[in-house]
Amino acid sequence: MSNYEILIDEILNEFEAGGEFLKLHDFIQHGDTTTYDHCIQVAKYSCQIATRFNLEVDYRAMIRGALLHDYFLYDWHDSEKDAKFHGFTHPYRALSNAKKDYKIGEIEENIIVRHMFPLTVIPPKNLESWLVCVADKICALSEASILIKAVHTYRKAKNIFGLY
């Protein structure tokens, strides 16, 4: 187990002991991936990129921000919620929830509110935020591609069998 994996586990234990972090198990992020699993993957990918390129980052702050970047605590697929604006608004809901449940530093705050760049027009201001932003895009594409493949397979089967 790498140093950053040990740190991820340590921070997960901290978040799970207080606040509502475990509720992330209840929500789907992309495809069939829960928000809980998505946030862990984003933390791991952020650390892997930093390690691979030997970047000097605050790993603790980066991991904390990555784990909380989607801490919005609702089902964004629910049509009752204003899902069409989710991409623009959820970083602020996540930050509000994170501040309510945990002590959040400047790096973590920037990670949470800027991870949707370029959809949200203000870019990240530190390296940790940029890494989480990139890792989030990689994870989202990977998670959504599973769903896209399933839809493609379904459509192909529908055409083969003449289903409507």
Chain segment 88-113, per-residue pLDDT in tens: 789 999 999 999 999 999 999 999 99
pLDDT at 93: 92
Structure tokens at 140: 């989202």
Domain that holds residue 66: 3-160
pLDDT, tens digit, 9 for 90 and up, residues 59-68: 999 999 999 9
> Could you tell me which of 61, 75, 81, 66 has the C-alpha nearest to residue 28?
75
pTM for the complete prediction? Answer: 0.85
pLDDT band at 7 (very low <50, low <70, confident <90, very high): very high
Q: How far is Cα 123 from Cα 126, in angstroms, rounded to an integer?
A: 9
pLDDT at 83: 64
Q: How far is Cα 153 from Cα 141, in angstroms, rounded to an integer?
A: 18
Task: Indicate the number of domains in the chain.
Answer: 1
The mean pLDDT of the chain is 88
pLDDT at 28: 78
Residues 119, 87 contacting (CB under 8 angstroms): yes
CATH number at residue 93: 1.10.3210
Residues 17, 23 contacting (CB under 8 angstroms): no
